């Protein structure tokens, strides 16, 4: 029986290693990148960049909320990617986490709210991206769930178009 790594090797995909960025205010921030699969069509639909959990919440709580959010727009996590693979994928990027969003979008002095305000504009660009609060922020501040749901509806509409 072949292992998951054997299949990755056969497809020419290197095994996952931790990705990290350096943020001026937060220092080194880890993140992971996942291919997202549409559960209705079984097609690759997007890449998720998820900032590492630095909160007091258990990773299982964050994973449960993340998977529930994705399921609401008919997505699920697929293959875990390395940084260079994730950045070269020609798919919509969903970025969860403030430091990660500022870094990946080269907008280091911009507030998170400003990054989110540009979502509609960014989705129509050659490299579409959607900035969403990290699940641990939503667990800490449930009032932000409404904003997250609005962003997920934008994502759903983008994937349906």
Q: What is the pLDDT of residues 85-108, one digit of tens each?
A: 656 667 888 998 888 888 888 887
This prediction's pTM: 0.77
pLDDT for the residue 15: 41
Contact 129, 122 (CB under 8 A): yes
pLDDT of residue 70: 92
Distance of CA 68 to the CA centre of its chain: 14
Contacts of 132 (CB under 8 A, 6+ apart): 94, 95, 96, 116, 148, 151, 152, 155
Radius of gyration of the chain (CA): 15
Q: Alpha-carbon distance 73 to 153, whole Å?
A: 7
Query: Quick check: 18 pLDDT over 50?
Result: no
Share of the chain above pLDDT 70, in %: 76
Q: Per-residue pLDDT tens for 48-58?
A: 888 887 777 88
Domains in the chain: ranges and CATH: 4-160 (3.40.470)
Query: Do the beta carbons of residue 66 and residue 57 sit within 8 Å?
Result: no
Pairing of strands 92-96, 44-51: parallel
């Amino acid at each position: 029986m072949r292992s998951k790594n054997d299949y990755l090797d056969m497809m020419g995909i290197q095994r996952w290693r931790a990705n990290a960025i350096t943020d001026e205010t937060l220092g080194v921030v880890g993140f992971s990148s996942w291919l997202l699969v549409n559960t209705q069509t079984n097609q690759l639909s997007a890449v998720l960049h998820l900032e590492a959990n630095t909160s007091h919440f258990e990773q299982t709580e964050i994973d449960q909320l993340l998977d529930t959010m994705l399921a609401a727009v008919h997505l699920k996590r697929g293959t875990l990617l390395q940084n260079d693979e994730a950045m070269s994928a020609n798919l919509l990027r969903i970025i969860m986490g403030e430091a990660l969003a500022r870094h990946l979008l080269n907008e280091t002095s911009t507030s998170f709210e400003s990054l989110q305000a540009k979502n509609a504009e960014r989705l129509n660009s050659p490299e579409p991206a959607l900035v969403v609060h990290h699940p641990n922020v939503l667990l800490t501040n449930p009032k932000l769930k409404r904003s997250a749901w609005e962003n997920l509806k934008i994502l759903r509409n983008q994937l349906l178009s």
